[in-house]
């Protein structure tokens, strides 16, 4: 059973999500305000948070930041069409994925599955601390700077390896161009999204399009490394 915290101030959308998610077998917790949402994360320890950006009391971005101060729970942002800038800010601020209103339940559920699965994997192996990261059939050996896909070694340049290991560490999360540049290229970078495009293209070629992991482009936002569902 997955416990989902739904944060939105529109009672009818909350009701539709509650019924839809409960029928799927989730345990649904509701918050109508940002302050309540932060409390509920601390109190009910949800497996996932669905967070609307436009709340009556606190800005959704602020709510996301405050949740990140004490919890690694995956946060999926509900954003309105045309809210691109705020969406990117939320992802930079620690949100994992976003979905644009209006959306269908099937799409929402797919996003939730990805977020939950990757969060579980991330929490399980403890990331780079253990020396290696496994995402589907992709294995990254941080100590020896080696990556294997289905047991076959990938031939990567230094930067390609850095990018792949960063995306693997944040598998399932939508990483914005800005985040990637700052964390992989260095603090002096941030606007040169064409660099990321070039390397993402090379990585994708080397990863191939077999079963396993996929490097997804999120148009205008960034990249997301996801495990293909079996």
Partner 1 sequence: MPSTRANGTTPERAVMGGAVALIGLVALALAMLPIRTHLTVAAPALVFVIPVILGVVVGGFAPGAVGALAGFLLYDLLFLPPYGRLTVQSPQDWIALAVYVAVVLVVARVVTNLQSARQEADRRQQDSTRLFELSQALIGDSTRAQLLDHIAETVQAVFTPRWTALVLPVDGPSGESEGPALAVVASAGAALSDEDRASLIDGGGQTRSLGMMDGSAPSRVAVALVASNRPVGLLVLHDVQFARQDRSLLGTFANQAALAVERAQLLDQALRSRLLEEIDRWRGAMMGAVSHDLRTPLASVKAAVSALRQDGAITSPADRAELLELIELQSDRLARLVTNLLDMTRIESGALSLQPADIAFDELAGEALDAVSGLVPPDRITVASPPDLPLLAIDHVLISQVLVNLLENAARLSPDTSPIRIAAQPVDDPAVPLVEISVADDGPGIGAHDRERVFEMFSQNSGGGRAGLGLAIAKAFVEAHGGTIWIDPGPTTGARVVFTVPRAARRP
What does the angle CA 71 – CA 73 – CA 78 come to, to the nearest 5 degrees? Answer: 120
Binding to partner 1 (CB under 8 A) within 100-119 occurs at 101-106, 108
Residue 15 makes contact with partner 1 by CB under 8 A: yes
Spatial contact of 107 and 100, defined as CB atoms under 8 Å apart: no
Taking the CB of residue 28, how many other CB atoms lie within 10 A of it? 19
Residue 30 makes contact with partner 1 by CB under 8 A: no
Closer Cβ to partner 1, 18 or 202, answer by number: 18
Least distance between partner 1 and beta carbon 119 (Å): 23
Q: Which helix (H) or strand (E) holds 204?
A: helix 193-207
Least distance between partner 1 and beta carbon 58 (Å): 7
Closer Cβ to partner 1, 82 or 158, answer by number: 82
Residue 129 makes contact with partner 1 by CB under 8 A: no
Residue whose C-alpha is closest to residue 79's, from 59, 100, 49, 97: 100
Closer Cβ to partner 1, 40 or 193, answer by number: 40
Closer Cβ to partner 1, 10 or 211, answer by number: 10
Spatial contact of 133 and 168, defined as CB atoms under 8 Å apart: yes
Residue 84 makes contact with partner 1 by CB under 8 A: no
Q: What residues have CB less than 8 Å from 85, skipping those under 6 apart? A: none
Closer Cβ to partner 1, 23 or 152, answer by number: 23
Cα torsion through 221, 157, 198, 207, rounded to 10: -70
Least distance between partner 1 and beta carbon 78 (Å): 8
* Residues making contact with partner 1 (CB under 8 A): 9-13, 15-17, 19-20, 22-24, 54-60, 80-82, 101-106, 108
């Amino acid at each position: 059973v997955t416990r989902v915290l739904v944060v939105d101030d529109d009672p009818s959308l909350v009701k539709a999500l509650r019924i839809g998610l409960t029928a799927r077998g989730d345990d649904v917790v509701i918050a109508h305000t940002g302050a309540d949402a932060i409390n509920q994360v601390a109190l009910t320890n949800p497996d996932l948070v669905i967070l609307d950006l436009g709340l009556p009391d606190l800005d959704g971005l602020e709510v996301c930041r405050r949740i990140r101060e004490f919890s690694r729970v995956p946060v999926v942002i509900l954003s309105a069409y045309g809210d691109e800038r705020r969406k990117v800010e939320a992802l930079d601020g620690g949100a994992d994925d976003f979905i644009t209103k209006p959306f269908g339940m099937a799409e929402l559920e797919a996003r939730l599955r990805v977020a939950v699965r990757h969060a579980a994997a991330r929490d399980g192996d403890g990331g780079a601390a253990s020396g290696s990261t496994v995402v589907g059939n992709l294995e990254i050996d941080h100590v020896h700077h080696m990556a294997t896909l289905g047991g076959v070694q990938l031939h990567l340049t230094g930067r390609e390896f850095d990018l792949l290991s960063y995306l693997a560490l944040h598998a399932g999360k939508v990483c914005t161009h800005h985040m990637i540049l700052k964390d992989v290229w260095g603090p002096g970078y941030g606007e040169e999204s064409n660099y990321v495009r070039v390397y993402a293209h090379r990585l994708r070629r080397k990863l191939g399009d077999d079963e396993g992991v996929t490097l997804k482009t999120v148009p205008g936002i960034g990249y997301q490394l996801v495990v293909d569902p079996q």
